[in-house]
Structure 1
Amino acid sequence: MPDQPVRDITDPQALRAIAHPLRLRILEAVALHGPLTATQVADHVGESPANCSWHLRQLAKYGFIAEAGGGTGRQRPWRLVTDGHRWGDGEESPELARAGDAAAQVLLDLEYRALHAWMAARRQESPAWRDAGFINQFLSWYTAEELGALQSEVRELFARHLDRLDDPAARPPGSRPVRLMAWGVPAVDGRAVDMPAGGGPARTGTENGES
């Protein structure tokens, strides 16, 4: 499939629009079951249609969902906009930084809860699904450029079947929603290897009894 479009979010209000647990649940319902009307969303998230309708309009205002066509009012269906979203690259205003941190925290809280739910329920899954689920943990050394390249590679892998969100007919028999989450962050207490004037990697630690 073509590369996933990525939207750079520079408006703090757009980030505040998703820094809300209920709105993330609404987005997920539309992603997995949409297009959905406000009434149908309400059935999935356990809120009133009026409340869901208001939140859907806010999500649409900032480009996270769009009208799917047909219907009016609360019977108007909404679909997910499957563009990727990116914020916080390079210089950012203090307001954007605060909004981005809040949005990231809400997103992580949602995924942590989902991970714990899987860990609690995985023994009731079939062996095939239980064995397919995984948690990988690594510790290694990267330059900033290498870590950035790894980020791009992971994004490409995760977006491989993104078309299945838009097109239910593209979902193969036996498939089910799968949550994909990855991070690669510099260790806060890890010091970078110094580069000497000659350009080669500096010696670290001790060698031949010298310190």
Structure 2
Amino acid sequence: MDERRHLTDPGEIRALAHPVRQRIMRVLWSLRSATATEIADAVGESPANCSWHLRQLAKHGFVEETGEGRGRRRPWRPASRSLRWGGSTESGGAAAASDELSAVVMEEEFEGLRAWNTWRRTDPPEWQDVADFSQALAWLTVEELAEVQAEFVAIMTRYRDRERPPGARPIRMFAWAVPAEPMPADSKPAEPMS
């Protein structure tokens, strides 16, 4: 069962389509809760700016206060863990907002991969040997692609909410399985070569 929050409102999608807000969400997902000051230290922004972005995220139900602390010492937490957007029924403003959010998320992930590639040789050898990326081209049906996507989600969420074991580090996981080329409007999918 897909438990991800499905974003359909252009306003809520655009609220999330901001690089600072994406970094704030990543910090909250990693730390589980944090104050605006703690988030500011992690994302390289001022506490006032982070506080403003947190209020914008809260307006759309992406974050919430934990109910602990007062004033600047109020911790925030994510209101939902998994999000999805960009369905085939979207059009107009929702489609444009979804495309914008997807571009921001992809750029943040690519930047994370580029950053890792610049410092990965400074990690201990055992971490260098297990950190990796894979690439493949496969011919899939719509049903098979849906199965692959579901497996990606299951793998990425398997370890997410458990107690963190000693020696664990935050690990970026980002996967895609998308058609390699557009389908011509006047044809059906090509049959695999035998």
What TM-score, normalized by structure 2, do the two folds share? 0.90
CA contact (8 A) 2:29 2:81 kept: no
Going from structure 1 to structure 2, the CA distance change for 1:193 and 1:46 (only over 3 Å counts) comes to: closer
CA contact (8 A) 2:63 2:76 kept: yes
Measured after TM superposition, the shift of residue 193 of structure 1 is: 3.8
User: Which residue of 87, 90, 93 corresponds with 1:89?
Assistant: 87
Distance across 2 between alignment mates of 1:36 and 1:189? 43
Instruction: Show structure 1 runs of 5+ residues with no match.
Output: 165-169, 195-201, 206-211
For residues 109-133 of structure 1, give each alpha carbon's deviation from its aligned partner in whole angstroms, at most 9, with x where no partner exists.
1111110111111111111110111
CA contact (8 A) 2:86 2:99 kept: no
Distance across 1 between alignment mates of 2:74 and 2:27? 15
Aligned to 1:167: none
Q: Where does 1:40-55 land on structure 2 (aligned, <5 Å)? A: 40-55=38-53
CA contact (8 A) 2:67 2:75 kept: yes
For residues 27-50 of structure 1, give each alpha carbon's deviation from its aligned partner in whole angstroms, at most 9, with x where no partner exists.
122222341111222222222222
Q: 2:128 is aligned with what amino acid?
A: R
Distance across 2 between alignment mates of 1:204 and 1:55? 52
Aligned to 1:181: 174
Going from structure 1 to structure 2, the CA distance change for 1:83 and 1:45 (only over 3 Å counts) comes to: closer
Distance across 2 between alignment mates of 1:34 and 1:180? 17
Aligned to 1:29: 27
Q: Where does 1:30-179 land on structure 2 (aligned, <5 Å)? A: 30-164=28-162, 170-179=163-172
Measured after TM superposition, the shift of residue 135 of structure 1 is: 0.8
For residues 3-28 of structure 1, give each alpha carbon's deviation from its aligned partner in whole angstroms, at most 9, with x where no partner exists.
77211111111111111111111112
Q: 1:21 is aligned with what amino acid?
A: P
What TM-score, normalized by structure 1, do the two folds share? 0.83
Aligned to 1:7: 5
SS of the equivalent of 2:179 reads coil
Q: 1:65 is aligned with what amino acid?
A: V
SS of the equivalent of 1:66 reads strand
